[in-house]
A and B are shown apart, each in its own frame.
Chain A
Amino acid sequence: MAQVSSIADEQSSKSITLRIARFNPEKDTKKQFMEFTVPYEKWTTVLEAILDVKKHFDHSVAVRYSCRQATCGSCGMIINGKPRLACFTKISELDSNVITVEPMNNFPIIRDLAVKFERLFDTHHKIKPYLDRDDTELESDAKEFMQSPEELEQYIQFANCIKCGLCNSACPTMATDSSFVGPQALAQAYRYVADSRDKGKDSRLKIIDDSHGIWRCHFAGSCSQVCPKGVDPAMGIQLLRGYMLGFRS
């Protein structure tokens, strides 16, 4: 027993300084950072460290999280300057003794690390994120929509989007153009346009063919770089442009 506790002591001897951005838009005029010394293990994630702070130091730190396994997309934030999922980022892989966590860029802040997702959900909803066709499997004698593995290959990568908003947070156009549709919605537009079961290609292309639509993308590629699910919105946008310019049908 004594041996076990000494191993535990040895393991928890490592610690980092966690700098958490604190901002309440109702009271504060600018963001401030609070520093906490947090013990960590090889497998400790940034989210666990933040929850540790909430448990032992300051319960008022506002953070949004849910699944803790990079599936729900709730805990997106800027970690050491880069948009990442806190539950998917291990402290040990950051290779730094100081870890700074801030709310995502290009999103209005609710408080501390929690941001508003209205714009992301609005733009996502705008591109009709569902199969659009006249017939449905509910009609008599209709069967499931058959699809070959090759047809599935066309869009499956883009179907992995978890709506975490990291791509929108990294997008430079989102920072300056408040009406820009954004990489998340554009990648989802491609996901449905490329789906062989979908018949709403023309209406979707019309929606994004706007003065603040697909053409405002500068192809910085930062959206693809930060995506934790490998969706590659930048590629989706370029493939969509192929449809717009008549290179793809």
Chain B
Amino acid sequence: MRESTIMKIHYGTALAAVALVAVHILMRMTMGFADSLEYETVLANYKFIPYAIMLELILILLSVHGFNGLRVILLELKQGPAYEKAVSYGCLAAMFALIAYGSRTIIMTNMGMV
């Protein structure tokens, strides 16, 4: 993938994440902070499908943005073809792993498996 395409995704995910996290914070402000962190409240959030979809989107956007940012930092830290390949594929794998783990939690809770 061309670097300009990656950076367009990077900027796009940042903007979208800011918008969705703002919605997420506004939703949390409807109740007290301590109540918001109650186990039952968290489960209820995951079971409410539109909200669960939004949390899943935030997870994807932040993972894509964050791991690309990490890739860029690591590429500037040291250079070399083998190192750069390892960094790129490593970050991609870590990104998919985090998304898979987070999605699993959301899906399992949403389906009543927790």
Contact = CB atoms under 8 A, between A and B. Distances in A.
Contacts, number: 32
A138 B111 CA distance: 74
Task: Tell me if B's interface is mostly helix, strand, loop or mixed.
Answer: helix
B4 interface: yes
Interface string A165-198: 0000000010011111000000000000000000
Nearest to A173: B76
Nearest to A206: B2
Contacts of A210: 3
Interface string A17-40: 000000000000000000000000
Interface string B1-39: 011100110010000000000000000000000000000
A178 B7 CA distance: 21
A62 B11 CA distance: 47
Interface residues of B, number: 12
B4 A244 contact: yes
Interface in B71-107: 72, 75-77, 79, 84
Nearest to B7: A215
Contact of B84 (A211, A213, A216): A211
Contacts of B84: 211
A215 B3 contact: yes
A245 B9 CA distance: 11
Nearest to B8: A245
A211 B4 contact: no
B25 to A, nearest CB: 28
Nearest to A243: B4
B75 A215 contact: no
Interface in A233-249: 244-245
A245 B10 CA distance: 12
A122 interface: no
A201 interface: no
Contacts of B8: 245
Contact of B76 (A176, A209, A244, A245): A176
Contacts of A212: 75, 79
A80 B3 CA distance: 38
Given A211-B84, A216-B72, A178 B79 contact: yes
Contacts of B72: 215-216
Given A209-B2, A213-B3, A215-B4, 17 more contacts: A176-B77, A177-B75, A177-B76, A177-B79, A180-B76, A209-B3, A209-B4, A210-B3, A211-B75, A211-B84, A212-B75, A212-B79, A215-B3, A215-B72, A244-B7, A245-B7, A245-B11
Interface of A: 173, 176-180, 209-213, 215-216, 244-245
